[in-house]
Structure 1
Amino acid sequence: MQNRNFRSILYFITVVIFATLSIQFYWNYKNYKDGKQQLIREVQSSVDNAIDSYYIELADRNTIGISLKKDGSILENPQVNSLLRKIDRSGKGLDVLNSIDPNEISEMKVISGSALRNKDTVFGAVNSPGKHKDLHNFFNDTRPLDTTPNMNQLAKRIIISLNTDTLEIPVLNNHIDEQLAAKNIDIDYAYIFRKKEEVTQKFNTEIVDDEVLSTSSNSAYLPKNSSFNLYFTNVATIVLQRNILGIILSAVLIVAVVVCLFFLLKIISRQKQLAELKNDLISNITHEFKTPISTAKVALEGIQNFNKENDPAKTKNYLAVSNIQLDKLQLMVEKLLETATLDGNNLQLNREEVPLVPMLSELVEKHRNLTKNKILCFSAEQQKIHVPADPFHLENALNNILDNAVKYGGDKIEISILVESQMVKIRISDNGTNLTKAQAEHLFEKFYRVPKGNTHDVKGFGIGLYYTKNIIKKHGGSIDLHVNNQTDFTIILPRNG
């Protein structure tokens, strides 16, 4: 039942993690798509503004107003006719005015395009196609004046505006760069200008491929029957930079959710392990306590039911059996109480100079006598090795290690004492290979026993090595376990004397 619940929780956590990742991925992807569309709109706006400002600047440079200072027809004035011919022949458009001698236009007043905006009244605006038809002949074609509507108003003043079918690419690029920079957009771009569906001009078109984005200008300043298409790249980098805060927050949220869920899973797993340890401990205690209780009960029943003649020898034997079993019960209770004392940090050590060699020799000899099918070897570098320790607790701690090696280890156990500077190293190893590295990591935990199902072939509560580790630590030492081709316990204690 518990395993089923644990699996259900594991599946639920997996689903939550997957759902969190999916939602965050969808949210980031949607933000990316929205950011991409927003960038396209901003580029569209920048292109329209750039073309508007380009043609406004072009109109300022290519528009002039001419008025006579004296009465007379402007179309018959020699200086005006000479000026129109120079504009036609120069190939520079209205820029030629910058190099004309003021004496050549002394009878007229020339006003630039920007200044014309401030005039309240302008008479007779005339658009000229520039070099395709010279200005002088254009105005001559308008005679006689009285047959052309409003031509009489051109007697003293005219406005000349030259329109071109080509783009000044460097100038247009400056306008585009300024508009993009104002919106913090850094892209590589290309464009194609078409007049009546035919490509008239293009710029940087080598970057155009299937993956570039494009937009078309909707500027009202574009010439009639013309189009301007701009192509650009670097979109992903810009969109990601703009959404970097959202991406970071999303990543933090994902990490936080995953970490919390795994932490929850770890806690649940730990609780599951504790529940299993509790059940195993209860099972072990029940089994361990049941045996001496049953034996003592049988001995007492023997005195009561099978000793009607009151044989003193038989009574003594029955009582001896009962005492042995009660001593076992007392020892087990004391072990449990010692564990509680360790957890409460109330254990007081009565330190004295303890000779290690005699203590270990007696323990080894005791286990030799109790175990006939295992070989125990003991060696020491020196015979007089002392450590400041509580003899009772230190002996119990070392005995637990030996007992563990005898119960669970191989058939050959080696015990050695080495002296290193101010430290004493006690090594207890056996050639057993039943213990895995994963099990070794938990061997010093309270109530932990190597899983063997429901069998109780080896007695114990799983507190011996936990007790040993705590006693060694309270003595200022350490204990390590290494599992490879054999099992090695290494105890290090501070030396004195």
Structure 2
Amino acid sequence: MKKAIPVSLILVALSLVGFVFLQVNWVVNIVQTQEQKISFRVFKGAQDAADSLGKYSAAAMRLRDQSLTFPFNGNALPSIKVNQRFSESEVNQIIQKALAQNEADKYKIEYAITYGQGSSGIPEQITPNFAALAQQLVTDSVLRENTPAQSFPIDARQEDGYVTANEFLTVFIPDLNSQAWQSLTWILFGSALLTLITISAFYLTVRTMLQQRKLSKIKSDFINNMTHEFKTPLATISLAVDALQNEKVQGNKEKSGYFSGIIKEENRRMNKHVETILQAALMEKQELNLRKDDLHVHDLIRHLVDNFTLQLYDKSGEVVMHLNASNDLIRGDEVHINNLLNNLIDNAVKYSKSDVPPRIVITTTNSSKNLIIQVKDNGIGMSKESVKRVFEKFYRAHTGNLHNVKGFGLGMSYVKDIIEGHNGKIKVDSTLGKGTTFTVELPLS
């Protein structure tokens, strides 16, 4: 199991990297293909437009301009320029029609019709941005690579009564890469969405695997802790029962009472453990029913402090109470409120330093709507990581060389659930080696 998870994570990571690489490579290839397709369609349309602009007849010209005369010296007709034969709007219509026939009318182009080819050609008709773009292409090599350009001759020859001049249609496709991306918007969006879904699926898979590994470790720790917590009282009860069966003990009421008390106390401990586990199960199912009544929290605190007197006496410790709240009345479940306060004080006692007498300070104050209870100790404290995770179920803070602290890691999770069940809040401040302070806020009745 330990080896399988790292190997699985490596394979999953490699699969994800491979998928992303292939997806990126596919996107690059499809954009390049689209650029080639756009260039082919635009230039094919431009070629068709150049052919259309080169065709006219003498009869058509006479209809357009009655002042024109055409001396037929043999078959020769005068060379008449495009701007003499077509208006600017007619030229644009011819070009757009040719582009539409080649499915290229949705792409942005800049064009010019010149008498003569290249820089020496005389512009006859030109789009507004053509000149500025042509000037930029002279000096900007990057822009030139992303702006395909091609010139198409409006052929100067006589054929079947049609005459064309020595003119050229030059077409630029500005910012071809961006146009290719824009034309593939939905395909690229789908690809990005698929990639995101795949990455999310991989992430959830990895997180689930790590959580399963963590839960497996938690389960093992819980079983070990539970075994220890039940084994110790059972062993004690077994010894006490054996002692009670001794004839000398049976004849001594004092010793019989002592061992009977041990059995009763250990039985109470086991019942408490069982109750803790059952409460955690109820919390997990959200089936815990709170029976709320009016409670005076100061009375509960005083009673609990009395219960810890012997434990603190053994450690030469003390509890200092500053019950300053003028109003300590809340609506709460007495059993669970008592348990959560007991857990906070019990932790302060358990996690005390071995060489320093525990000093626990319990303070109560009021805010406008809440009763604020603060339990502060001078114990071993917690690291920042432990502070972040102290309310996690089954989490137990690392206690270094302190081996006498046992439990299931359910206490603080239970405390948080009970406080939230009463619409309250809890926060913790702790410094490793200096102590911990828990602050609880509960709504006043």
TM over 0.5, yes or no? Answer: yes
SS at 1:233 equivalent: coil
* Equivalent residues of 1:425, 1:491 under 8 A apart: yes
Q: Distance in 1 between matches of 2:422 and 2:48?
A: 83
Identify the residue that residue 215 of structure 1 maps to in structure 2.
150
Percent identity between matched residues is 24
* Residue 495 in structure 1 maps to residue 444 in structure 2: yes
* Distance apart, 1:234 and its partner CA: 1.5
Q: CA deviation at 1:18?
A: 1.6
Using the size of structure 1 for normalisation, the TM-score is 0.70
> In 2, are the aligned partners of 1:187 and 1:234 still within 8 Å (CA)?
no
Hey, what does 1:267 align to over in structure 2?
208
* Kept after mapping to 2: 8 A contact 1:193/1:228: no
- Are the structure 2 counterparts of residues 276 and 37 from structure 1 closer, same or farther at C-alpha, using a change threshold of 3 Å? same
What is the distance in 2 between the residues matched to 1:458 and 1:299? 24
User: Which range moved further: 290-299 or 397-406?
Assistant: 290-299
| Whole-angstrom distance in 2 between the partners of 1:98 and 1:193 | 23
- The verdict on how the C-alpha distance between 1:60 and 1:45 changes in structure 2, with shifts beyond 3 A counting, is farther
Kindly provide the amino acid, as one letter, of the partner of residue 39 in structure 1.
Answer: I
Q: Gaps (5+ residues) in structure 2? A: 124-129, 158-163
The 1:37/1:404 distance shift into structure 2, 3 A limit, reads: same
Where does residue 381 of structure 1 map in the other structure?
324
The gaps in structure 1 that reach 5 residues or longer are 66-93, 100-109, 114-122, 128-160
Equivalent residue, structure 2, for 1:474 = 421
Contact 2:292 2:332 in 1 (8 A): yes
Shift of 1:492: 1.9
Q: Distance in 2 between matches of 1:178 and 1:363?
A: 96
Q: Deviations over 1:354-374 (max 9, x none)?
A: 221122123234435413355
Task: Name the structure 2 match of 1:162.
Answer: 78
Structural mapping, 1:113-262, within 5 Å: 125-127=74-76, 161-163=77-79, 175=91, 179=95, 182=100, 183-188=105-110, 200-201=121-122, 204=131, 205-209=134-138, 210=141, 211=145, 212-217=147-152, 230-262=171-203
What is the CA deviation profile of residues 146-166 of structure 1, one whole-angstrom value per residue up to 9, with x for unaligned ones? Answer: xxxxxxxxxxxxxxx1136x7
CA apart distance, 1:484: 6.4
The match for 1:277 among 218, 238, 262 is: 218
CA separation of 1:318/1:60 partners in 2, compared to 1, >3 Å: closer, same or farther?
farther
Q: Is the 8 A contact 2:116 2:167 kept in 1?
A: yes
Question: TM-score normalized by structure 2?
Answer: 0.77
RMSD: 4.0
Moved more, 428-437 or 379-388: 428-437
Cα offset for 1:458?
A: 0.7
Which SS does the other structure have where 2:67 is aligned? helix
Q: Distance in 1 between matches of 2:410 and 2:173?
A: 73
Give, in whole Å, the separation in 2 of the partners of 1:444 and 1:47: 72
Name the SS for the 1:162 alignment partner. coil
Q: 1:453 offset after TM fit, Å?
A: 9.1
Pairing 1:402–2:341 present: no
Tell me if structure 2 keeps the 8 A contact 1:387–1:495: yes
Task: State the partner residue of 2:363.
Answer: 416
Cα pair distance change 1:377/1:309, threshold 3 Å: closer
Contact 1:188 1:234 in 2 (8 A): no
Separation of aligned partners in 1, 2:257 and 2:431: 51
- The C-alpha deviation readout for 1:269-311, integer Å capped at 9, x for no partner, is 2222222211111010111111112222233344557959955
Contact 1:216 1:229 in 2 (8 A): yes
Matching residue of 2:267? 326
Q: CA deviation at 1:40?
A: 0.9
Q: Check if 1:98 corresponds to 2:82.
A: no
Give, in whole Å, the separation in 2 of the partners of 1:454 and 1:215: 82
The residue that corresponds to 2:22 in the other structure is 23
Aligned residues: 410
Q: 1:226 and 1:446 mapped to 2: Cα distance?
A: 84
**1:395 offset after TM fit, Å?**
0.9
Offset at residue 31 of structure 1 (A): 1.2
Measured against aligned partners, the alpha-carbon deviations of 1:99-131 in whole angstroms (never above 9, x if no partner) come to 8xxxxxxxxxx7x89xxxxxxxxx98521xxxx
The 3 A distance-change label for structure 1 pair 415 and 454 is closer
Once residues 338 and 456 of structure 1 are traced to their aligned partners in structure 2, the CA distance between those partners, rounded to angstroms, is 26
* CA shift in 2, pair 1:173/1:449, >3 Å: farther
